[in-house]
Structure 1
Amino acid sequence: MSTSAEPPPLSASPAAEPYGRIVVRAALWLALLAPLFYSTYGFANWLASTRDHVGSIVFAWERHIPFLAWTIVPYWSINLFYGLSLLLNDSRQGVDRLAGRYLTAQVVAVSCFILFPLTATFVRPTTSGLPGLLFAVLGGFDKPFNQAPSLHIALLVIIWDHWRQRLPGPLLTLWHGWCFLIGASVLTTWQHHFIDIPTGALLGVFALWLFPARGELPFAGFRLTADAKARRLALCYALGAILALVGASIGVFYSAIALLLLWSSLAVAIVAFAYAGAGAKVFQKTADGYVSLASRILLWPYRLGARINVWAWTRKLPPVVAIADGVFLGRFPDAAEADRFGTVIDLAAELERPRYAPGRWESFGMLDLLSPPAEALDRAATAIEPARRQGTVLVCCALGFQRSATVVAEWLVASGRSHTPAQAQKQLAASGRPVHFQDEPA
């Protein structure tokens, strides 16, 4: 089994469908995106210019950033990669998802420019030659008002991710280096202030999460849940996201705190979306326990909180307890704990498999504090017996109290080791680990 934390690179060689159709699809998207960009970007610029006062967020240390005229070349190069990236796809779905990321970044950024305009405060010196020409062209449509989040940085994150999955070793190294130059150029051309960069990067990662290269879209098939408990949890998380956002707004001039609160607000809002009806797919966890890069970054504040919660509840308990015939029940393991078992059956949608965890890992993502969906419960319970024949098995969720206990109880009944659900629950309670069942096992 591969221990890579990412799916294998996408192939840029022979197309999965006729390439002509991909080119046509890309051309149609460019025909929509280009005029939409210039019209909305220009409108936001004009609207900000009509205001009596447009504020700025700039730190004293930024005045020591040198102006490097030549970096306008990498700055402008993103426009070339913007179009080429649409052409570098092996399916029309790939084109559509990349275009969806572009559109997301543009809509969110321009909305922020309209609602909360900021202005750049540095005045660039006069330049000549090629840099002077490029600055002049840029000044023809760009004004100093569209700052945070930097749309340039958001698009850079999207384009960087697109090409990194397609370029081989030496070219990939060059690509990382060139993207670093593009990112740094927003400062060295005096086009943006520092606050624009992390906010732009967060927007870019959000766009990657919203339109993943593979798998189901987070919002696909969304229906508001009828489960009253899920609705209450969604409301609690939504209120938490709002409070964090308010805190970020209040602390906007304390950049580190404000950015952390903004990041946390977005992460918790996504969790609220999961409980509202989107389900476990918002965590973008694969069957072998890994999550996408976008999910790993975007939901890091929430996962950090979840890890702290695991430690707080289980620090005085044994990490695992034996149940029957080589099957163990426990908390979410670290790499060393996972190494003790032949197979880990993981039910925690919100937590990622430890990077260097060896052995077999099977993930059946379920949301915490809710009754497991019947189909996921059956699949997870059915996976235990064949895994047990190959060695010891750890069935885990975050704490090892609820989701994992429900699945193990289901397995005990299905395998004949317990005659009734009540007997299975009693057997688990006798293990000495606090367990709680959201639903009676079938």
Structure 2
Amino acid sequence: MEIKAFGRVFQMRFGKHSDRETRSTIFAFAQTVPKASTPKPTERMLRDFSRSAIPHRAISLIRDGVLAQNWRVVPAKAGDGRSYKQAIRAIENIIKHPNETDDYRTFWGQIVNETLIGDNGAAEIVFTGNPTQPMKLYPVNGFSLEYCHGFFENPKQPRFCQRQNQYNPVYLYDEDVLYIQHNKTTDSAFGLSPLESAYRQLMALGSAEEYAALQASQAMPRNALNLGEGVSENDLKAFRKYFAEEVYGSGRSPIIGGTKGAGSLKIGAEGDSELFLEWQKHLITIIALSFGIDPKKLGQGSNTDRSTVEEQNESMQNEAIRPICLLIQDAINEKIIRRLGLSDAVKFEFYYEDTHDQKMKAQQIIVDQWNTNALTFAEYREKLGLPYIDSPYNDMTQAEMKSALNKKYAVQTGGFNGVGKNQKDGVDKKTNGEKNTKS
């Protein structure tokens, strides 16, 4: 059935919601988190680590990549000529302006952040009764939600429970919550986020950075001078005075004598290996791989070759950004469009532009097809994105086109392949010249 009046369809499908505006029942920032609702490590530990430099950079790269993707709401079936302008406009309003304070970037940016930190990007669905924007979405702290017992046996039971305190639970049904998980496991109802998978490595990284920073900030000398045996207290004081007044800060190499068995003792760490900086680089690589990002994007190594950078961008697009885009795409189609009863009419989708390298490869494939006579002249121009022209050669392949041109422009066709030139004239001139020379 073609949708001509989206408002009437909305009223008919959701009459129980249309007579009032529903109110949000979820607290945006819960005071306490139920113990059963948080996987290990805890929410506080994951959020603290997400604010450190390396994971913050990884999260920002993926989030900004997702938000930069182009998207559209289109008819669900290819070739559907019916108009769904009113329905498409309503869904676009929900996505672009989810609630009174958030726009597209702030709201969906929060959802991506929570998915990468805790694998629990969540929002509450609230019906408005307004056909131009029938839903509002409010971001939720996914760590504050715990699964209700019995939901998996009976989907009609509440799915989530959120507690403001121990005696005031709020129950939420599956249809009222948009909940995004990337890695579901059979041993737990909670997912596994990239940040959590790298948690132990992040702890080790923090220890290595703290130790290296401590060594650098303390400015402790790396060696001590041992004056050997039999040094008196007066000699020891004299050497200390000499170093304090004559050596420190002068930049000159001290020369001493008169001691037996003088030598130096190593008392501090030096070099990357003893400061564990090589281990730190290894941990950065592990964290980058947990997020599906090339380590060079996090400062590990250098980007000097253009083709290498393009490969890194393409790899990140396919391995880190698109999977999150697909999660959001499925959530919108399932929780927004399906709840509005429009699954058979329209759908939401991200669409991606090819990189320069991909465009060049695609163009080369088209040229190869033309050179092997797999395309006609009209098909060749169409695949290259060139406008249609009225030509007598449109239905010819390259070989057929060359043959037709040769017949049209060559006076003598036997053995000549020139185009646009009278080859016979050149032959006649050469032949006449040879005869004149012989005579």
* Alignment TM class, shorter chain as reference: under 0.3
Higher-strand-fraction structure: 2
Higher-helix-fraction structure: 1
Of structures 1 and 2, the larger Rg is shown by: 2
Q: TM-score, normalised by structure 1?
A: 0.23
Greater RCO (Cα-Cα under 8 Å, separation 6 or more): 2
